[in-house]
Amino acid sequence: MKWKIGDRVETRDAYGKALVDLGARRPDVVVMDADLQRSNKTYAFGQAYPDRFFDMGIAEADMICTAAGMAATGMTVFASSFAMFVPGRCYDQVRLQLSYGQANVKIAGVSAGITQGPDGATHQSLDDVALTRQLPGMIVIVPADATEAYQATLAAAEIAEPVYLRLGRYPTPVIFGEDYRFQIGAVPVLRRGADVVLYATGIMTSMALDTAGLLAATGIEAAVLNVPTIKPLDIEAVVRPAAGARLAVTMEEHSIIGGLGSAVAEALACAGHMSTLLRIGIQDCFGQSGTADELLEYYGLTPAHMASQIRSAL
Amino acid sequence: MVDELKLAELAGIAHELRYHIVRMMGAGKPHHFGGSLSVVEVVTALYFYKMRYDPADPRWDGRDRFVMSKGHSVPAQYAALARLGVLPLDELPRLKKLGSILQGHPNVHMTPGLEACTGSLGQGLSFANGIALAARIRGLECRVYCVLGDGELHEGQVWEAAMEAAGQKLDTLVALVDRNRLKSQGDVDEAKPLEPLALKWEAFGWHTLVVDGHDLRQICDALDVAETTKGRPTAVIARTVKGKGVPFMEGQFQFHNAPISQQQWEEAMRVLAPEELAR
């Protein structure tokens, strides 16, 4: 699938397209949704392969366990809902059936993060990476753009492990071209710079590139690392670029507790790296209603805000 | 249809399973005696009468599946699987011991013969639905049996799964409710009333049968009827006695998960010992 660099595309769109393509060549692929298929973009799969699509109703816990039963009987299942419901609403089921049971089920938490927008705090999932990251054997992927989301969905279908895919409804610029090759666990370096290392995930990767541009204008050279795979985290790839940098920064539209910020903090500290770490994200609070752009502005997640925060921290 | 000869054999097996359950649990350590003992006839009828199952190949794709949704009663399943030769009999006394393949609650990857990880109540029926739906997609002709506790029916997810199974017309699915009326801390219905339970399952679109859960003929007949029921799933409410077979445990919620003394254990073993051992 091809998107034009710079075009603004929602990662959930790429997920929907990847599922349809998968369905054509993989008769074992089943898709489930909990009454959000038009929003989560799984509707097209349902139209193309009605026998392998299940609207599970508003019953996320039931959906996850049904998916696990299907996986145990030879299917590869993608189960989707809003991220605050999956994994939030059915954490116990994800823990027991998918993690402990090591089921071949991929859960997609869609409309994740503060950019869920107008529905407010009840619907803005800021803890889903934290919940899934600490589950043994769970693979956690937060794609940066449509290209990466498309490829990550295909990659998830290639492995037997349970996967959490974090997807959004925010139209984020496409940063990867057709030649990009997503690999689970890889940490691509998108920009080099000696002063500061920016670790970014999801829609924040594009903003990290913009932030690095703003910093360069004031003489600060920032490296930008895209970290789509929060788990398993490539420790070596995370630690190496921090050597010699004056500041390490994590950027995520998620709580600074438990997500990328925590993962990088653990990696750096355990490697004996005592460089200062600035964790940019939602600062241990709930969100509120607003447009996605207003919320990004309000919570300090724009390139201008982030560049100024980094300058003050240096 | 089950005949007299088979019934006599099944009664012997049920007695043997109870013996193995109490033997593997031993004295002095808390174990789930009550629910493991109440479900014995249901487990016996499934594994030794009804299910298409090859003990030499427990992962055979065409096998009928047994999902123990009330995971704490898995010792009854361990006993049956050992009796079938799927598990080594010698392993049973290592139940819940460090390094044993017999976990306190079912782990599908550690114990041969299990179908699902359960233990957090309310999840097994959804899992069983998933098996039945996948089998339908793949054209597998297997049947799926899911054993639930009555206390477990307090979990709302069970009713989500009940709606799904009826909506999907899963006539290859049978839910068996171990209606022993007691949960861990006392009476099930006093906490949240289940009655009228048969009418609830009927209202959810299930063909519903009520049997004496210690009468093997009634259970076997119900399983036969379920197999001929088309277009909807079948619920079998098996009225049982918690702790069945060990007189001092019968009808006592205190033995849901509790240790027994050496003296109590010996008494239970005397009652349950196979005739040739008792002599």
Strands A105-110 and A139-141: unpaired
Nearest CA distance, B85 vs chain A (angstrom)? 23
- Chain B neighbors of A92, CB-CB under 8 A: 120
Contact (CB, 8 A) for A77 and A30: yes
Averaged pLDDT for residues B189-198: 98
At residue A104, the pLDDT reads 98
Nearest CA distance, B255 vs chain A (angstrom)? 26
- Tell me the C-alpha distance between A94 and A90, whole Å: 6
Going along chain B from its start, the domains and CATH numbers come out as 4-278 (3.40.50.970)
Nearest CA distance, A210 vs chain B (angstrom)? 46
pLDDT for A166-193, tens place per residue?
Answer: 999 999 999 999 999 999 999 999 999 9
Nearest CA distance, A24 vs chain B (angstrom)? 15
pLDDT for A75-91, tens place per residue?
Answer: 999 999 999 999 999 99
Contact B130 A65 (CB under 8 A): yes
**Interfacial A residues in 228-257 facing B (CB < 8 Å):** none
Averaged pLDDT for residues B163-191: 98
Helices (H) and strands (E) in chain A — how many of each?
A: 12, 14
Tell me the CA distances in angstroms from B187 to A13, A70, B148, B194, B251, one per residue in order.
51, 35, 16, 11, 10
3-class DSSP assignment, residue A226: strand
A70 in contact with chain B, both atoms CB, cutoff 8 A? yes
Best mutation target, A26, A65, A91, to test chain B (most B CBs within 10 A): A65
At residue B279, the pLDDT reads 46
Query: Which among B107, B126, B160 is the nearest to A69, CB-wise?
Result: B126
Nearest CA distance, A265 vs chain B (angstrom)? 33
Strand partners, A139: A163
At residue B277, the pLDDT reads 57
pLDDT over 90 at A1, yes or no: no
Return the closest-CA partner of residue B74 out of B89, B92, B59.
Answer: B92
Nearest CA distance, A28 vs chain B (angstrom)? 9
Structure tokens at B82: 């050992």
CA Rg, chain B, in Å? 18
- Chain A neighbors of B67, CB-CB under 8 A: 69
Contact B116 A100 (CB under 8 A): no
pLDDT for B25-78, tens place per residue?
Answer: 999 999 999 999 999 999 999 999 999 999 999 999 999 999 999 999 999 999
Q: Where are the domains of chain A?
A: 8-173, 189-313
Averaged pLDDT for residues B172-183: 98
| Closest chain B residue to A74, measured at CA | B134
At residue B275, the pLDDT reads 66
Please count the residue pairs, one from chain A and one from chain B, whose beta carbons lie less than 8 angstroms apart.
Answer: 99
In CATH terms, A8-173 corresponds, of 3.40.50.1860, 2.40.50.140, 1.10.10.10, 3.40.50.970, to 3.40.50.970
Same fold for the pair A8-173 and A189-313? yes
pLDDT for A125-136, tens place per residue?
Answer: 999 999 999 999
Contact B130 A74 (CB under 8 A): no
- Chain B neighbors of A63, CB-CB under 8 A: 126
Specify the DSSP element, H or E, that contains B266: helix B262-272
Asked whether the bond before A171 is cis by omega within 30 degrees of 0, the reply is no
Evaluated on CA atoms B4, B7, B11, B12, the torsion sign reads: positive
Question: pLDDT exceeding 90 applies to what percent of chain B?
Answer: 97
Averaged pLDDT for residues A6-19: 98
| Closest chain B residue to A76, measured at CA | B134
A138 in contact with chain B, both atoms CB, cutoff 8 A? no
pLDDT bucket at A275, cuts 50 / 70 / 90: confident
Return the closest-CA partner of residue B166 out of B228, B225, B234, B224.
Answer: B234
Contact (CB, 8 A) for A79 and A62: no
At residue A274, the pLDDT reads 79
| Closest chain A residue to B69, measured at CA | A65
A112 in contact with chain B, both atoms CB, cutoff 8 A? no
Residue the block writes with tokens 């994200």: A281
pLDDT over 60 at B86, yes or no: yes
CATH T-level assignment (fold) for domain A189-313: Rossmann fold (3.40.50)
- Chain A neighbors of B119, CB-CB under 8 A: 96
pLDDT over 60 at B107, yes or no: yes
Contact A68 B109 (CB under 8 A): no
- Tell me the C-alpha distance between A139 and A161, whole Å: 7
Averaged pLDDT for residues A34-54: 98
Contact (CB, 8 A) for A196 and A220: yes
E strands of chain A, at which residues? 8-9, 29-33, 53-55, 76-82, 105-110, 139-141, 163-166, 172-173, 189-191, 196-200, 222-226, 229-231, 247-255, 276-282
Contact A72 B130 (CB under 8 A): yes
A26 in contact with chain B, both atoms CB, cutoff 8 A? no
- Tell me the C-alpha distance between A289 and B258, whole Å: 51
Query: Which among A62, A75, A92 is the nearest to B164, CB-wise?
Result: A62
Nearest CA distance, A73 vs chain B (angstrom)? 6
pLDDT over 80 at A8, yes or no: yes
